[in-house]
Amino acid sequence: MAGIRRYFLSDSSLRPRLEEIFRNLPQRTVSLVGQAPLGGSTVAEWDFESPAAWRWHTGIIADDLALDSEGQMRQIFEKYEDMLAAEYMSVASHCMRTWIFVRDIEDNYAGAVAGRKHYFETIGLTPDTHFIASTGIGGTHRDPRVLVMMDALAIPDIRPGSVRYLKGSTHFCPTADYGVTFERGVGFDYEGLHYTLVSGTASIDNRGRVVYPGDIRKQTLRMVENIRTLLAEDGADDRQLQTALVYLRNPEDAAAVRTLLDRELPCLDYLLLHAHVCRPDWLVEMECIAVR
């Protein structure tokens, strides 16, 4: 088995030291992201073990950092396409999941969304085909010129027809309805197991509106309800959840969110992080992985 280890840093100046420490880490791909852990530590680790054939690419940034966030996002996907082509893969056929980290997300998220949309159109990914499961969240690289950074997962030998893109139509509308291009989640079979990867999910309804603005408790409960809906669509439930990342806009909400998550999902292993969600009215967002 192999996998990914992502380190969340409260201070991006720690990045060079950690890069050196983890340069030769065996059988893991390392990701370093400027997001502060909530719990008092300066560094937190998220570790997911995956089959050796899975291809994790981390810390992908644009070569031309003079570009705006739209240009950097397009260049990142073009660069990633070249990486996959070197292993006889493509974004459209083999990429299962992306994580897009945006500096100053209130200013740069719209550009990143536009860059991804335009790139997808060039490779034939539209509302009539499919998009890619994703989280778009506030996060930084140590170089302030980096406006967008991406981690991604591709699977070279994924079987045609084994991939299911999750819609959750009772609780969500298509993301294209409000101008973004990602899937709510993805499920697929691999080597006798079924994996459900749920994208970043917040308190949203089936018209694309924020539910319970300003109320962290109600938003957390609606977020959990939405995640359960996506898991159920793929035949999974809380018992198969292996790991989750939970992003909070306001660190002072951490205690309330922990209380609710520990009550609603008592067996879940999760990590709380301080990161701005893509809409100002959203206070909390969660992504997760279930395996059965």
pLDDT band at residue 24 under the 50/70/90 scheme = low
* pLDDT tens digits along 138-174: 999 989 999 999 999 999 999 878 899 999 999 999 9
Residues contacting residue 263 through CB under 8 Å, at least 6 positions apart = none
pLDDT band at residue 236 under the 50/70/90 scheme = very high
Class of domain 2-291: alpha beta
Residue 19 has φ and ψ, to the nearest 5°, of -60, -40
State how far the alpha carbon of 128 is from the alpha carbons of 118, 121, 124, 199, 250, in Å.
Answer: 15, 11, 9, 19, 37
pLDDT at residue 55, rounded to an integer: 96
More confident residue, 221 or 161: 221
pLDDT at residue 29, rounded to an integer: 87
For the chain, give every domain's residue range: 2-291
Residue 90 has pLDDT above 70, yes or no: yes
pLDDT band at residue 26 under the 50/70/90 scheme = low
pLDDT at residue 235, rounded to an integer: 97
Average pLDDT over residues 108-131: 97
pLDDT at residue 15, rounded to an integer: 78
Distance, in Å, from the CA atom of 147 to the CA atom of 71, rounded to the nearest integer, reads 10
Distance, in Å, from the CA atom of 162 to the CA atom of 206, rounded to the nearest integer, reads 26
Give the range among 25-39, 72-86, 196-210 with minimum mean pLDDT: 25-39
Q: What are the structure tokens assigned to 231, written together?
A: 């898991």
Residue in this structure with the two tokens 């950092």, named with its chain if needed:
65
Q: What is the pTM of this model?
A: 0.96
